[in-house]
Amino acid sequence: MHQVVITNCPNNEVAQRIAKKLVTEKLAACVNIVPNITSVYEWQGELQQDNEVMLIIKTKSSLFTQLKQKIEQLHPYDVAEIIALDIQQGNKLYLNWISDTVKD
């Protein structure tokens, strides 16, 4: 099965470092870097609003644990957002490309 994994980064430098590492280590077939998102959330009892950079990561579900560990290793946040969404349907050729590109 394939997954889209989402994580937010504090800036473009961190986002690019994580994205490149995931792709070069074949934990992800593709990572979209989406700049200039605004996140509103509560942290330690305080309302926060930050500009962040979102990563949209395409991978296989069998690689999630390794991918999560790599993000946690590279990410500066105390609690990194790492959310995996199973891909229920998609372009078969694209999904095959993901499978062929990442680790077995």
- Residue boundaries of the structural domains of the chain: 2-101
- pLDDT digit string, tens, across residues 14-32: 999 999 999 999 999 999 9
Q: Residue 7 corresponds to which amino acid?
A: T
**Residue-averaged pLDDT of the chain:** 97
Considering only CA atoms, give the Rg of the chain.
Answer: 14
pLDDT above 90: percentage of residues in the chain: 99
CATH of region 2-101: 3.30.70.120
Selection from 62, 52, 45, 43 nearest residue 6 by Cα = 52
The pLDDT, as a whole number, for residue 104 is: 81
- pLDDT digit string, tens, across residues 34-84: 999 999 999 999 999 999 999 999 999 999 999 999 999 999 999 999 999
Q: Which two three-digit tokens encode residue 4?
A: 């889209």
Instruction: Report pTM.
Output: 0.94
